[in-house]
Amino acid sequence: MGKNLFKLGMGLLVAGGMLACQSQKNGISFEHQGDTLTIVHITNPTKYLLLPIQESSAEGKVKLDTGNPADMAMDVRLAVDSVEYYVPFELPAGAKEATVTIGKVAADAVCWDSIRLSDTFDTTNTDYYRPVYHHTPLYGWMNDPNGMVYKDGEYHLYYQYNPYGSKWGNMHWGHSVSKDLIHWEHLSPAIARDTLGHIFSGSTVVDKNNTAGYGKDALIALYTSASDEHGQIQCMAYSTDNGRTYTKYENNPVLTPFDGLKDFRDPKVFWYEPEQKWYMIVSADKEMRFYSSSNLKDWEYVSAFGKGYGIQPNQFECPDFIQLPVNGDPNNKKWVMIVNINPGCLFGGSATEYFVGDFDGKEFKCETKPEVTKWLDWGKDHYAAVCISNLDGREVAVPWMSNWQYANVTPIRQYRGANGLPRELSLYTKDGQTYMAANVVKEAQSLRKETREVGSVDLKGEYKMNEIFPATDGAYELEMDIVPNTDQEIGLELYNSKGEKTKIYLDLKAGKIVMDRTESGLTAFGEKAEPHAIENHDRRKTNSINYKNDFALATWAPLSLCEGKKYHLDIFVDKCSVEIFVDGGRIAMTNLIFPTEPYNSLRFYADGTTSKLENLKIYKLGL
């Protein structure tokens, strides 16, 4: 009890044969039953109990105890030595009393002095690296986008969310909505962790024909419940209030693995017109499995694809399955399976690959050999990318902008996790192969607040702009055509007064476009090995990594994906990220950066004879 400063009264009593220690402050009293359990009695509860967090603490178990067996304890890293930030824990509205039980937190931890009752929670930004125009949660942890769907003029972005700390845990579906894919409004979490497990990734469809029986146009979410007790099982929930709240189906789960697979998750559901049925694609360890259903509740196994395909060894996660015209020809459509892989990707950790082929309602036939890997993005921070359902005539994917190697330890506090800009997908052919381009959506042009038109520049040696804008908070876009006349290097450096820089250049000799963040700012964070689990559903158990080498690196893509006479570059910088789109997304590359001051200077350089930059434009971006 030593550190408890706010104690107004304190007593010792013997409760159930155990020594209990009681203290209280305004409206709250703590009954410590040793170090393993504290019962928090609250009179006239406010809206929230504010919980003090210390990220290095072990997880305590915090439960609103209503006596219902469905009460679920949340894992919370309550402060033991010092308070880093607070998270709000909602208390029952209008109640006279509430009881919260907290397990596994020592009776002398500092949190007991700092826990507070409050009707408000301040979400004013405190993070230096919070992006200006990318979607982030207001607070807490975010990973994969989930259940993205368009309905009645709104884009819904649900996401893997921990409302009780900025590290992975307590998976809920957080929720934001947008009318234009760019401006997002934060809403309350839509689906909360429950006794069946964490609410893992999944998808949402609009049930236009009322196949599930919850009404025409009900939103139906399919997600994975993940727990040690029940494993990974697919569950369903429905919403009849435009996605604000969901009711879980009373007979969950709707699908369990027939072979007891441990990794069986992330259902993506789509309507398959020729069979007039719903199909679900689920990641099943090192393959994807298809199921079909007429009512979204009863699912039948169809087939599997993927063993031995793409980068090896692999763990398939977060699938999507879409059909797109090749080179814009509506009479020549192909199916594409999107597969998110972790770990073991080209630059380490997680990334997104895809396979092009045909589907006849039974089997997916990939048109390339198993050893062919095609990447949707060539950076290191593009993961769990899936598409928005119910978009007419468009496929738009949204990634999570991080990598499991270091996602839990990026130098951010109040929140962790951002989405990459939405990308419009299309198929093009090159050298007899079909590839998928991922270009930033046209809606992103609404971010342009100021334009600086430079025009054409003859480039031999270097061309410098000491100030990209008189002041920048690190949120801008650069657009240009590079017409190389060299067989060596041509490119640019974004840098700040501290000499931190990110380099983006074409290495014509190697036939690559490269983004180099080795000297981009903070590149080694998290001293000790932190979890980025892959073995099972728990993202915290893991092996160790070397942060320095995992973050401080250059990523590259083959220029052979482009036509090659000149290269159109569209580069988006936003505080802690750089995204490049080359030639309408034939190459997309997404990387995090952590400069300690914004890059406000720009240097172009070219080796060899005079090359040209054309149509150089710089835009200051904002919401």
DSSP 153: T
> What 3 state SS string does 289-330 have?
EEEEECCCCCCEEEEEECCCCCCCCCCEEEEEEEEEEECCEE
DSSP 566: S
Q: How many residues bind ligand FRU (CB under 6 A)?
A: 13
122 contacts: CB under 8 Å, gap ≥ 6: none
Q: Between 133 and 200, whose beta carbon lies closer to ligand FRU?
A: 200
160 touches ligand FRU (CB under 6 A): yes
Q: Provide the minimum distance between the beta carbon of 379 and ligand FRU in the complex, in angstroms, as a whole number.
A: 16
Which of the residues 113, 127, 144, 574 is marked catalytic? Answer: 144
**Which residue(s) pair with 280 in the sheet?**
269, 291
CB atoms within 10 A of CB 522: 16
SS3 assignment, position 22: strand
Q: Between 342 and 472, whose beta carbon lies closer to ligand FRU?
A: 342
User: Do you know the residue count of the chain?
Assistant: 623
Per-residue x/- mask for ligand FRU, residues 291 to 320, rule CB under 6 A?
--------------------------xx--
Return the H-helix or E-strand segment holding 550. Answer: helix 547-551
384 touches ligand FRU (CB under 6 A): yes
Q: Between 143 and 292, whose beta carbon lies closer to ligand FRU?
A: 143
- Closest-CA residue to 360 (of 334, 380, 385): 334
Q: Between 170 and 611, whose beta carbon lies closer to ligand FRU?
A: 170
SS3 assignment, position 114: helix
Q: Between 384 and 387, whose beta carbon lies closer to ligand FRU?
A: 384
Structure tokens at 360: 């006849």
Per-residue x/- mask for ligand FRU, residues 260 to 289, rule CB under 6 A?
-----xx-----------------------
Is residue 81 flagged as an active site residue? no
502 touches ligand FRU (CB under 6 A): no
Q: Provide the minimum distance between the beta carbon of 144 and ligand FRU in the complex, in angstroms, as a whole number.
A: 5
Query: Residue 461 and residue 473: Cα distance in Å, rounded?
Result: 28
Query: Residue 280 and residue 257: Cα distance in Å, rounded?
Result: 13
Q: Provide the minimum distance between the beta carbon of 382 and ligand FRU in the complex, in angstroms, as a whole number.
A: 12
402 touches ligand FRU (CB under 6 A): no
Q: Provide the minimum distance between the beta carbon of 143 and ligand FRU in the complex, in angstroms, as a whole number.
A: 5
**Which residue(s) pair with 387 in the sheet?**
397
Please, are residues 261 and 281 in contact by the beta-carbon 8 Å criterion?
no
Query: Residue 270 and residue 220: Cα distance in Å, rounded?
Result: 11
Site for ligand FRU in 315-354 (CB under 6 A): 317-318
SS3 assignment, position 484: coil
Q: For ligand FRU, which residue of 89, 159, 161, 200 counts as binding (CB under 6 A)?
A: 200
Q: Provide the minimum distance between the beta carbon of 40 and ligand FRU in the complex, in angstroms, as a whole number.
A: 28
Q: For ligand FRU, which residue of 54, 136, 224, 472 counts as binding (CB under 6 A)?
A: 224
> What 3 state SS string does 248-305 have?
ECCCCCCECCCCCCCCEEEEEEEEEHHHCEEEEEEEECCEEEEEEECCCCCCEEEEEE
Q: Between 172 and 566, whose beta carbon lies closer to ligand FRU?
A: 172
Q: Between 144 and 550, whose beta carbon lies closer to ligand FRU?
A: 144
Query: Residue 159 and residue 149: Cα distance in Å, rounded?
Result: 12
CB atoms within 10 A of CB 3: 15
- Phi, psi at 618, each rounded to 5°: -125, 130
Please, are residues 395 and 425 in contact by the beta-carbon 8 Å criterion?
yes
SS3 assignment, position 547: helix
381 touches ligand FRU (CB under 6 A): no
Q: For ligand FRU, which residue of 22, 29, 38, 143 counts as binding (CB under 6 A)?
A: 143
Which residue's entry shows tokens 């220029």?
559
Sign of dihedral through CA atoms 373, 269, 300, 198? positive
Beta strands in 498-576 (DSSP E): 501-507, 512-516, 554-558, 567-574
Structure tokens at 158: 């649900």
Q: Between 389 and 502, whose beta carbon lies closer to ligand FRU?
A: 389
144 touches ligand FRU (CB under 6 A): yes
Q: Which residue type occupies 269?
A: V
SS3 assignment, position 454: strand
Q: For ligand FRU, which residue of 201, 542, 555, 577 counts as binding (CB under 6 A)?
A: 201
C-alpha angle 501-506-508 in degrees, rounded to nearest 5: 145
173 touches ligand FRU (CB under 6 A): no
SS3 assignment, position 442: helix
Please, are residues 160 and 146 in contact by the beta-carbon 8 Å criterion?
yes
Q: Which residue type occupies 584?
A: G
Ranked by CB distance to ligand FRU, the top (closest) residue is 200
Q: Provide the minimum distance between the beta carbon of 284 and ligand FRU in the complex, in angstroms, as a whole number.
A: 11
Q: For ligand FRU, which residue of 171, 237, 338, 602 counts as binding (CB under 6 A)?
A: 171
Q: Between 592 and 602, whose beta carbon lies closer to ligand FRU?
A: 592
Q: Between 291 and 619, whose beta carbon lies closer to ligand FRU?
A: 291
Q: Between 163 and 521, whose beta carbon lies closer to ligand FRU?
A: 163
- Please give the residue ranges that form the binding site for ligand FRU (CB under 6 A): 143-144, 160, 171, 200-201, 224, 265-266, 317-318, 384, 539
The residues assigned a catalytic role are 144
